[in-house]
Chains A and B, each alone.
Chain A
Amino acid sequence: MSSFFSQDVPLSWYLLLSAVLFALGVLGFLIKRNLITVFMSIELMLNAVNLSFVTFAHQWHAVKGQIFVFFVMMVAAAEAAVGLAIIIAVFRARATLAVDRIDLMKL
């Protein structure tokens, strides 16, 4: 039992987890009908990618992989801020957060 549990985890599992999280993120992007929830699925996708970066950083012992994750986080933060501001502006114009109702370019 302990020998089983003291095994090392193959990195491919981490990568698989990352792939599954990414696929779930895409799925969420497709099926969710609330604008904010769609945005959240995008954040999920970003996180999945971050995980795979860290995994490879561990594989090649490269610090730059982790630094890249750092930058991705920064960009995601900025993007979240601006994206939510846009959602607020859209809500003000359309008074709805349903994705299917927002189908005109002109606000």
Chain B
Amino acid sequence: MNVIFPLWLIPLLPFAGFLINGLLGKRLPKALVTTVALLAPLAAFAAVLNAGLPIVFPFSSAYLGHAAPTSYIETFGTWLNIGTLHVDFSFVLDQLSLVMLLVITGVGFLIHIYSVGYMARDEGYARFFSYLNLFLFFMTILVLAGNALLMFVGWEGVGLASYLLIGFWFQKTTAAEAGKKAFIVNRIGDVGFLIGMFLLLANFGTLTFSEIATKLGQDPGWTGGVVTVAALCLLLGATGKSAQLPLYIWLPDAMEGPTPVSALIHAATMVTAGVYMIARNHVLFDHSPFALGTVAVIGAATALFAATIGLVQNDIKRVLAYSTISQLGYMFLGCGVAAYSAAIFHLMTHAFFKALLFLAAGSVIHAIGDEQDLRKMGGLRKKIPVTFWTMTIGVFAIAGFPPLAAFFSKDAILYAAFQQGSLGKALWFVGLLTALLTAFYMFRLWYLTFFGESRSPEIHPHESPWSMLGPLVILALLSVAGGWIGIERFAAFLAPATGPRAIDAGSGNLELILSIAAVAVALLGWYIAHAFYSQKPERPAELAVALPSGYKLLSNKYYVDEFYGATVVKPLLAFSTYFLGWVVDKAIIGGLAWLLGGISLFCGALLQRWQSGNIRSYAAWLAAGAAAVLLFVAVPWSSVLASIGIHLNWAGH
């Protein structure tokens, strides 16, 4: 493989940024901190472009005389070489990781620029950027990893960065608790990842993705059984990281972190790691229809579930959080129907419009003085125009209106779902319903925020600085144009990495009909939102009164957190306090320590009595010692013991 640009620069540059800002940030002038922080993702983006260009445009390589590479593999040396386990530090840059890297570094760079303005007056300015760069470091490792163990390093690392960033304002108890919750729930999912890795290792003897794919391809007997179990375990890990049922509970709480964090980590990049991991292991999942079905069902169920909760949330960021969970459900659905390229396509477009929505929401919050409650907003359309227009583009994009980005990607997923037999049609219907709900609550948010009379007349909103608005504009453009590449070309591009797109040719009409259905549903959602929040603003209150139990159920998030608290958290806490705390810690370990101390004291007391100061007793012990030495020297012990029957092997005695 002809390596034009070293791949290890891509993670290294953000890591350098992390070190500089983390160790020296407090002492450097703010301008320098900003420069370092922005340079890191920009340089990484440049490195990705440089390395990835030959993959995207094969003609240029041919022009240069090299054969067009489909993937770069760089190995830096052996990591583990124990018995039959052999793991290298190897980075793989193929089409799939290239797409992910472009999104991560590109959108990441834009969010870094936004953070310069958003966090300008925060005390922990340098710390924030060092954590962001740390996150980039780990995320790029995750994406570039050529084997599951290295990917796990990145997996855990982004969890750590997420914890640090969610709890960034750690003096706030809720933020610290949210960080803890995110990390712990992630770890529960990681158990699945680990067990999946163990199973892969046990059955294939290797953790390298390409080798596993080759082995699976060679032997057609690999279906069901252990492949299913391994795939399901990996799926558990993915649900933890990507906030699907049943491990989604951390993502809404993660909104305690600063808005750029929500945009970068909990919308565009980290939460997509689960989708990426499934796409990376797609050969494994392809061999297990049961696992694929489970992925699809979980994805669709989560999409619907989260959308219903999002209907009644009052915090602007919570609405977006549940929307993220819902859209991730779409991506899982795409993976579950083996349309991996469609899922990655939606991942890319989602990164654009979700980051845009979050950043615009941050701009709104910044404009009205850190207020996040929708019920206190209103009438901001004329006051903050740039934010308004960019957010509008985002809302229309997520609702799925053509020719904006999400229309193409969502459609690709729904179309692929429809084609997978009767289960597929049911999933398609669920996806369609979710699209309706998505349109409804996004337009609800739109109306409540920007239209009508201001419900907090004492606030004077001001537009955000251009450091914040610039990225908004760029992301808005990407949300508009991001889908124009079209699913066919995108799938063809990704085919070497994710397998060919399994679509029946000649069903163009069906595709058209389904697209029209999706757009119709989006329009219906807009209309309902308009009816409820624009024409007659008192209607939602009336509906809430009419269906009190339903409203309570939704606004309390189906009591899932309470359920987990009662079934998992409380027993663990009781176990820790009573058994581990009292029995193990106090009684056993404390008792052991007390015992050791007691032994020392006892021996000391004995010795104290021995050293009495009495000369005669000392003399007696002297004589005893002399007698012992004499005995040892003068008596032929080997023969004495041999006569008893004990034979020793002493030299020379």
Choose among B612, B615, B619, B620 the residue that contacts A102 (Cβ–Cβ < 8 A).
Answer: B615
The answer to whether A105 and B613 touch across the interface, beta carbons within 8 angstroms, is yes
The answer to whether A100 and B616 touch across the interface, beta carbons within 8 angstroms, is yes
The answer to whether B623 and A26 touch across the interface, beta carbons within 8 angstroms, is yes
1/0 per residue, CB under 8 A from A, across B613-653: the answer is 11110011001000000000000000000000000000000
Give the shortest distance, in Å, between B626 (CB) and chain A (any CB).
Answer: 8
Main secondary structure of the interface of A (DSSP, over half): helix
Give the shortest distance, in Å, between B94 (CB) and chain A (any CB).
Answer: 84
Alpha-carbon gap, A103 to B616, bound state (A): 10
Question: What is the chain B residue whose CB lies nearest that of A105?
Answer: B613
Give the shortest distance, in Å, between A101 (CB) and chain B (any CB).
Answer: 10
Q: Which of A46-101 contact B (CB under 8 A)?
A: 99-100
Alpha-carbon gap, A3 to B28, bound state (A): 115
The answer to whether A99 and B613 touch across the interface, beta carbons within 8 angstroms, is no
The answer to whether B623 and A103 touch across the interface, beta carbons within 8 angstroms, is no
1/0 per residue, CB under 8 A from A, across B534-578: the answer is 000000000000000000000000000000000000000000000
Alpha-carbon gap, A61 to B441, bound state (A): 121
Alpha-carbon gap, A5 to B445, bound state (A): 134
The answer to whether B619 and A29 touch across the interface, beta carbons within 8 angstroms, is yes
B613: chain A residues at CB < 8 Å are 103-105
B614: chain A residues at CB < 8 Å are 100, 103
A38: chain B residues at CB < 8 Å are 615
Question: What is the chain B residue whose CB lies nearest that of A35?
Answer: B615
Alpha-carbon gap, A99 to B614, bound state (A): 8
Alpha-carbon gap, A105 to B612, bound state (A): 11
A105: chain B residues at CB < 8 Å are 613
| Any B CB within 8 A of the CB of A30 | yes
The answer to whether A99 and B615 touch across the interface, beta carbons within 8 angstroms, is yes
The answer to whether A103 and B619 touch across the interface, beta carbons within 8 angstroms, is no
The answer to whether A30 and B620 touch across the interface, beta carbons within 8 angstroms, is yes
The answer to whether A30 and B623 touch across the interface, beta carbons within 8 angstroms, is yes
B619: chain A residues at CB < 8 Å are 29-30
B620: chain A residues at CB < 8 Å are 30
Alpha-carbon gap, A44 to B562, bound state (A): 92
A103: chain B residues at CB < 8 Å are 612-615
Q: Which of B352-393 contact A (CB under 8 A)?
A: none
A30: chain B residues at CB < 8 Å are 616, 619-620, 623
- Most chain A CB within 10 A, of B613, B615, B623, is at B615
1/0 per residue, CB under 8 A from A, across B583-623: the answer is 00000000000000000000000000000111110011001
Alpha-carbon gap, A26 to B619, bound state (A): 9
Alpha-carbon gap, A26 to B615, bound state (A): 13
Alpha-carbon gap, A34 to B614, bound state (A): 13
Question: What is the chain B residue whose CB lies nearest that of A27?
Answer: B623
Alpha-carbon gap, A103 to B612, bound state (A): 8
Alpha-carbon gap, A58 to B619, bound state (A): 33
B615: chain A residues at CB < 8 Å are 38, 99-100, 102-103
A99: chain B residues at CB < 8 Å are 615-616
Question: What is the chain B residue whose CB lies nearest that of A29?
Answer: B619
Give the shortest distance, in Å, between A30 (CB) and chain B (any CB).
Answer: 6
Question: What is the chain A residue whose CB lies nearest that of B615?
Answer: A99
Q: Which of B6-46 contact A (CB under 8 A)?
A: none
Give the shortest distance, in Å, between A16 (CB) and chain B (any CB).
Answer: 15
Alpha-carbon gap, A8 to B504, bound state (A): 129
Give the shortest distance, in Å, between A102 (CB) and chain B (any CB).
Answer: 7
Give the shortest distance, in Å, between A89 (CB) and chain B (any CB).
Answer: 16
Q: Which of B437-488 contact A (CB under 8 A)?
A: none
A26: chain B residues at CB < 8 Å are 623
Question: What is the chain B residue whose CB lies nearest that of A103?
Answer: B613
A100: chain B residues at CB < 8 Å are 614-616
Alpha-carbon gap, A45 to B614, bound state (A): 21
Give the shortest distance, in Å, between B609 (CB) and chain A (any CB).
Answer: 13
Alpha-carbon gap, A38 to B355, bound state (A): 99
Give the shortest distance, in Å, between B603 (CB) and chain A (any CB).
Answer: 22
B612: chain A residues at CB < 8 Å are 103
Question: What is the chain B residue whose CB lies nearest that of A23?
Answer: B623
Alpha-carbon gap, A105 to B614, bound state (A): 11
Alpha-carbon gap, A104 to B613, bound state (A): 6
Give the shortest distance, in Å, between A65 (CB) and chain B (any CB).
Answer: 21
Alpha-carbon gap, A29 to B615, bound state (A): 10
B616: chain A residues at CB < 8 Å are 30, 99-100
Question: What is the chain B residue whose CB lies nearest that of A100?
Answer: B614
A104: chain B residues at CB < 8 Å are 613
A102: chain B residues at CB < 8 Å are 615
Alpha-carbon gap, A103 to B611, bound state (A): 10
Give the shortest distance, in Å, between B624 (CB) and chain A (any CB).
Answer: 11
Alpha-carbon gap, A29 to B613, bound state (A): 16
Question: What is the chain A residue whose CB lies nearest that of B618?
Answer: A103
Give the shortest distance, in Å, between A22 (CB) and chain B (any CB).
Answer: 11
1/0 per residue, CB under 8 A from B, across A6-50: the answer is 000000000000000000001001100000001000000000000
Alpha-carbon gap, A104 to B612, bound state (A): 9
Question: What is the chain B residue whose CB lies nearest that of A41?
Answer: B619
Give the shortest distance, in Å, between B123 (CB) and chain A (any CB).
Answer: 64
1/0 per residue, CB under 8 A from A, across B218-251: the answer is 0000000000000000000000000000000000
Give the shortest distance, in Å, between A48 (CB) and chain B (any CB).
Answer: 14
Alpha-carbon gap, A10 to B619, bound state (A): 33
Give the shortest distance, in Å, between A46 (CB) and chain B (any CB).
Answer: 15
- A-B interface, 7 closest residue pairs, ranked by CB to CB distance from nearest: A103-B613, A99-B615, A29-B619, A103-B614, A26-B623, A30-B619, A30-B620
Q: A30-B623, A99-B615 are in contact. List 6 more A-B contacts (CB 8 A).
A: A26-B623, A30-B616, A99-B616, A100-B614, A103-B612, A103-B614
A-B contact pairs, 7 of them (CB 8 A): A29-B623, A30-B616, A99-B616, A100-B614, A100-B615, A103-B613, A103-B614
